[in-house]
Amino acid sequence: MDINKLTGIVVDLCIKIHSRIGPGCFEKVYEEILNYELTKLGIKVHRQLLLPIEYDDLNIENAYKLDMLVDDQLILELKTCIHYHRFILNK
């Protein structure tokens, strides 16, 4: 699949997921749902994929851990954050 089309699909799905379940979930929740949505569309997904790195004669087996590899070409690193409220204390 063309990378521009693929990224468009992923962005649209992320917006859909965020609109339906909102902020504040753990990354694993968003990853599970995104995997579900992509798989429904017939798009191949690898999750929590470990990749090595080689440096001279040194081989580090599990140097990288990708959250998701979509269609063997798009790497996704999912991030979530806590919604902080600003509290004003009156004295």
Q: Write down the pLDDT at residue 23.
A: 83
User: What is the rounded distance in angstroms from the CA atom of residue 25 to the CA atom of residue 14?
Assistant: 13
Neighbours of 79 (CB within 10 A): 7
The C-alpha R_g of the chain, in whole angstroms, comes to: 17
Are 15 and 7 in contact by the 8 Å Cβ rule? The answer is no
Tokens of 34: 């995104």
Per-residue pLDDT 10s for the chain (91 aa) are 999 999 999 999 999 999 999 888 889 999 999 999 999 999 999 999 999 999 999 999 999 999 999 999 999 999 887 655 544 455 4
Q: Write down the pLDDT at residue 8.
A: 98
Tokens of 48: 């929590």
